[in-house]
Amino acid sequence: MNHSLRLLLLLLCLQLAADEVIGITRGDFPSDFVFGAGTSSYQYEGGVAEDGRTPSIWDTFVHEGRTRDKSTGDVASDGYHKYKEDAKLMTDVGIEAYRFSISWSRILPNGRGAVNPKGLIYYKNFINEIVKRGIRLHVNLHHLDLPQILQDEYGGWLSPNIVDDFKEYADICFKEFGDQVSHWTTIVEPNVYALGGYDSGIFAPARCSYPFGRTNCTAGNSTTEPYIAVHNMLLAHAKVVNLYRTKYQDNQNGQIGMNFYSFWVYPTSNSSDDIEAAQRVFDFQFGWVLNPVVFGDYPKIMKKIAGSKLPNFTSSQSNLLRGSYDFIGLNHYSSAFVSDNSDILKESLRDFTSDMAARLGTSSNSSASTQFDPSHVVLDPIGLQKMLEYLKQNYGDPPLYVEENGYCFGANISTAVNDTARVDALSDYIKATLEAIRSGVNAKGYFAWSFIDVFEYLNGYKSSCGLYHVDFADELRPRTPKLSARWYSNFLKSDSKAVGIIERSDLQHMFRLSQ
């Protein structure tokens, strides 16, 4: 029997087996729910010095040798040249939406002022390739890659000057691309951006102060700067949402929202101290962004503990912030265990993480750390369900998008493409999302991170998350579908009668046949 005939027969068998397989299908989700996958500009594009783009703070960071594997995003997945091929792969998988970000310094090489026409052309070409395939666009205006020139000029997010510059940049993006974009997200993960960039220093712009940094920062202030950076991000977000709503939304019919990095938090014991600590972690890590955007002000516990380190909103700023979202996007990979660490509040010198007064660990018995480390991954699909339900109950039942979820690991030859662990993780997290919908959560979409392997902000190329493998050692950066791409495709192309999540043994079989 030839190759494709065998594959066809296998697929037929899978169809016939549908009723016997316990699983979920695309058809179990509401028809307006959207499934996609994503990348981001610095992590995907490469072409860092081409056609007028200037460096972002991440270009600076990686060239100081600050990535764990000393790698850079100079070429990354070479999306700047290979976007047409990738748009075709999107059709192959059958994703319904693609999430990506725009490089601010490709559009505005000086941070503001003169627009770079070649930057516009790149995104217009890419957008056209995707839209002509019937795939919707979820676009992030800013995903951690601030133009270095604005960092140098006035300290980037530490200065209120950033607010008007971000608004000017957003205005150009709405004007040039907005007709094609269904969903805009203003700023990706303000919480991780500020903790990594200004408290521990493990993210650009690598600012921190003794004794709090986890890297050699040349400047910074871990006690105050995380608060200031997020404050300016929130003000910039609110202005941009207001701009979109007043100038573009009626004609462009898109939606706009905020994103935050999330993980579910379990108290390590049922003592009231640990339960309060878990709530405090929730308020410091997530309420920090969510409360201003939903209610117009920071959580009470943050004001109490951080005191004068936490900037105040004026009443007009608060009014602009309150309700500044059509949806809320969360990036979610794991859960954490939390125990009380209130004694630390006796110290007078405290960074943001000490103010949280809790220890975070990856299991109820692990040696917990007070430092936030988003690379400590504990797969826990129930945690996503709990997070979605918590947001519904405590933040006014907002429309929610799981904007990033996946499983990243260092892959060797045998696991890189045969990524069964990723298939299991994605299917379990998608099931958890469905459970949340069934319990009444207004979840509207799910995006796998990442569509293809990219430069990862924490681990460079040592860990990958893609549905497609990219061979970073080959200058042509060839793409190969992983088992997870085939699995996701099968799930997405299934209807209510067909098999969505299929048995692992069948998948293995299908994978061997199609190699």
Ligand X SMILES: *[C@@H]1O[C@H](CO)[C@@H](O)[C@H](O)[C@H]1NC(C)=O
Query: Is 212 buried (19+), middle (13-18) or exposed (0-12) by CB count in 10 A?
Result: buried
Residue 348 in contact with ligand X, rule: CB under 6 A: no
Per-residue DSSP letter, 115: -
Give least dist CB 287 to ligand X, A.
17
Structure tokens at 344: 């630390």
Nearer to ligand X, 200 or 331 (CB): 200
| Region from 36-44, 231-239, 308-316, 387-395 binding ligand X, contact rule CB under 6 A | 308-316
Helix (H/G/I), strand (E/B), else coil: 186:
strand
* Token reading at 281: 């972690």
When asked if residue 246 is in the footprint of ligand X (CB under 6 A), the reply is no
Site for ligand X in 394-413 (CB under 6 A): 412
- Contacting ligand X (CB under 6 A), which of 420, 463, 480, 489? 420
Residue 445 to residues 137, 157, 399, 438, Cα–Cα distance (Å): 12, 30, 9, 14
DSSP conformation class of 147: B
- What's the CA gap between 451 and 480, in Å, rounded? 12
Q: Nearest approach, Cβ of 293 to ligand X (angstroms)?
A: 19
Instruction: Tell which one of 218, 271, 272, 312 touches ligand X (CB under 6 A).
Output: 312
Beta carbon of residue 295, minimum distance to ligand X (angstroms, whole number): 16
65 or 134: whose CB is closer to ligand X?
65
Q: Cα angle at 129 between 123 and 135, to 5 degrees?
A: 105
Map the footprint of ligand X across residues 491-510, applying CB under 6 A.
508
- The distance of closest approach from Cβ of residue 466 to ligand X in the complex, given in angstroms and rounded to an integer, is 17
Return the number of the residue (107 or 408) whose C-beta is nearest ligand X.
408
Q: Which of 223, 252, 354, 385 binds ligand X (CB under 6 A)?
A: 223
Q: How many residues bind ligand X (CB under 6 A)?
A: 21
Closest contact distance (angstroms) between CB of 416 and ligand X is: 9
Apex 236 CA angle, 232 and 241, nearest 5:
150
Q: With CB under 6 A as the contact rule, which of the stretches 110-118, 170-178, 213-221, 257-265 interacts with ligand X?
A: 213-221
Give all strands (DSSP E) within 20-82, no chain letters. 34-38
Give the active site residue among 45, 189, 225, 456: 189
SS3 364: coil
- Residue 365: burial class (beta carbons within 10 Å; 0-12, 13-18, 19+): exposed
Q: At its nearest, how many Å lie between ligand X and the CB of residue 465? A: 15
Cβ–Cβ < 8 Å for 399, 444: yes
Which is closer to ligand X, CB of 302 or CB of 434?
A: 302
Kindly give, in sequence order, each residue whose CB lies less than 8 Å from that of residue 348, ignoring residues fewer than 6 positions away: none
Q: Would residue 66 be called left, alpha or beta, if left means φ above 0 and alpha means ψ between -120 and 50 degrees? A: alpha
Nearer CB in complex with ligand X: 31/412 = 412
Is residue 7 within a helix (H) or strand (E), and if so which, with residue range?
Answer: helix 3-16
C-beta of 330 vs 467, nearer to ligand X: 467
d(CA 128, CA 119): 14
> Is residue 405 within 8 Å of 429, Cβ to Cβ?
yes
Rounded least distance, CB 209 to ligand X, Å: 4
Q: What is the C-alpha separation between 218 and 194, in angstroms, rounded? A: 17
Residues 143-182 touching ligand X, rule: CB under 6 A, are none
Q: Cβ 409 to ligand X, closest distance in Å?
A: 7
Residue of the chain from 221, 354, 405, 459 that contacts ligand X (CB under 6 A): 221
Q: Using CB under 6 A, which of 31, 251, 308, 314 touches ligand X?
A: 308
Q: Which of 15, 91, 125, 216 binds ligand X (CB under 6 A)?
A: 216
| Cβ–Cβ < 8 Å for 262, 387 | yes
Binding to ligand X by residue 279, rule CB under 6 A? no
**Closest CA relative to residue 240, chosen from 151, 376, 141:** 141
Task: Spot the catalytic one: 45, 225, 403, 404.
Answer: 404
| SS3 category, 335 | strand
Candidates 2, 251, 316, 414; binder of ligand X (CB under 6 A) is 414
Is 404 a residue of the active site?
yes
318 in contact with ligand X (CB under 6 A): no
Residues written for the chain: 515
Q: Does 375 bind ligand X (CB under 6 A)?
A: no
Does the footprint of ligand X cover residue 215 (CB under 6 A)?
yes
Residues 6+ apart with CB under 8 A from 277: 267, 338, 339, 340, 341, 342, 357, 358, 359
Q: Which is nearer to ligand X, 10 or 131 (CB)?
A: 10
CB of 370 or CB of 514, closer to ligand X: 514
Active site residue 347: no
**Other beta carbons within 10 Å of 14:** 20
Q: Measured from the CB of residue 14, what is the shortest distance to ligand X in angstroms?
A: 17
Does residue 363 interact with ligand X by CB under 6 A?
Answer: yes
Q: Does 270 bind ligand X (CB under 6 A)?
A: yes
Question: What is the footprint of ligand X within residues 63-82 (CB under 6 A)?
Answer: none
Residue 152 near residue 109 (C-beta atoms within 8 A): no
Q: Does 415 bind ligand X (CB under 6 A)?
A: yes
Report the interface residues with ligand X, using CB under 6 A. Answer: 209, 215-216, 221, 223-224, 269-270, 308, 311-312, 363, 365, 412, 414-415, 418, 420, 508, 511-512
Active-site residues, by number, are 189, 404
